[in-house]
Amino acid sequence: MAFNTFQNKIIRLFFLTITVSLISGSSFCQDDNIDGSLIFQETLKTADSLNRLCSETWDSDRKLAMYYAEQALEISETADYDIGKGTALKNIGNINLFTGKYNEAIVFYEKAIEIFKKSRNEKGIAGCNNNIGMVLERKGDYETAIKFYEKSLDYEILVNNADGAAVTYENMGNVYYYLGNYSQCLDYFNKAATYFDKVGNTEGRIKLLINLGAVYEEMNMIDHAISKNENALTESRKAGNKYLEASALHNLGSNYFETGDLNISLNYLQTTLVIRDELDDKKGIAAALKMIGRIYNERENYNLAIDYYFQALKISEEMEDKRAIAETFTLIGENLEKKGQHDQAIEFFRQSLHLATEINARAEMSNNYQQFVLAFASLKEIDSASK
């Protein structure tokens, strides 16, 4: 969430600067002029403010958000403030998640869970379980991701947290989207929509619009997809949320690729790539690079296309994003197939199929089998193509 006004941001930062300087010493003992208890309470407020600033800036400035989280953690540890510590650890985990540092993210979430359990903070436990599920989802471990989402949902329902339940339902829908089960996906998205409407969560509704657009594209309902993504783009710009703006732009690029309007598609994707780079959103950068590669592949500029694919592959391998790696292997195979390098193409399809089977990404598995048919047919290996 963005600050409402620039002036508001200045006021908050001024307050934090003053407060941090007050507590920079090694003791909270009172003297003749200062009430130690009052300073201690101000310290806790400072940690809470820093954690809030972190969550308000992580979609626009990841480095600044990390600074806020680390400051909140340092202050909370000095004051032995469990809520502040747990929230700061969770926030640091979130930033690592957003920047593709998945293993580091899990470490911070697990540390946060330990603290939240100690303080019996069910809402915090639920959030961390949900986010571990997101890490596992991005790494392609869908079965385990669902288990963590279910853990999260149990806690959200226990504490009657409608916002948290909405997010978890949506994430479960995302997993079924990747598994190619679109009816189950829509069922979870509809459950999420009910909760988002209940609490008036604007950001949640925007994310859901984007995800619904993705489902409609997979179902070849492109007009519906474009409508959802255009609404999401308008709303994300109103909210000043750069991350969601980039997501909507990317998906519009994908929509117009499907309609054959390649110039429009490329314009959207180049815009989203700039924003993703500003946000250091590695997963988003890799996705945009792949889509731009597909445009050049469609234009028969195969050498430029494969250059984009390998750039995307390098990022996805660094993040251990198995689904993204599988997708990119398939795209490289398609590129080689169009260049007449059928044997090399088949090898990339095999690698992609191996990964897709490992994570049960059924849509990608199906796509690879289709590509095998084309490649073996080109080699006149009819038995292999029929198989």
pLDDT band at 36 (very low <50, low <70, confident <90, very high): low
* Residues contacting residue 93 through CB under 8 Å, at least 6 positions apart: 104, 105, 106, 107, 108, 109, 112, 128, 131
Cα distance between residue 164 and residue 152, in whole Å? 8
99: three-class secondary structure by DSSP: coil
Q: At residue 299, does pLDDT exceed 90? A: yes
Cβ proximity of 277 and 285 under 8 Å:
yes
pLDDT higher than 90, residue 198: no
3 state SS for 59-78: CCCHHHHHHHHHHHHHHHHH
> At the topology level of CATH, where does 313-387 sit?
1.25.40
Q: Which two tokens stand for residue 372?
A: 């095998």
Instruction: Assess if CATH 1.25.40 describes domain 1-118.
Output: yes
Q: Kindly write down the DSSP assignment for every residue of 320-373, as one continuous string.
A: T-HHHHHHHHHHHHHHHHHTT-HHHHHHHHHHHHHHHHHHT-HHHHHHHHHHHH
Confidence check: pLDDT of 200 > 90: no
Same fold, 1-118 and 121-181: no
Q: Share the mean pLDDT of the chain.
A: 85
pLDDT tens-digit map of 104-160: 999 999 999 999 999 899 999 999 999 999 999 988 889 999 999 999 999 998 889
CA distance 143 to 147: 7
How is the chain split into domains, by residue range? 1-118, 121-181, 313-387
Kindly tell me if the per-residue pLDDT of 345 is higher than 90: no
What CATH number labels 121-181?
1.20.58
Least confident range of 92-96, 227-231, 378-382: 378-382
In this predicted model, what pLDDT tens digit does every residue of 174-191 receive, in sequence order? 999 888 899 999 999 999
Rounded to the nearest angstrom, the gap between the alpha carbon of residue 278 and the centroid of all alpha carbons in its chain is 15
Prediction pTM value: 0.64
Assess whether pLDDT exceeds 90 at residue 303: yes
Instruction: Kindly state the tokens that stand for 53.
Output: 């600033």
> Which one has a higher pLDDT value, 357 or 297?
297
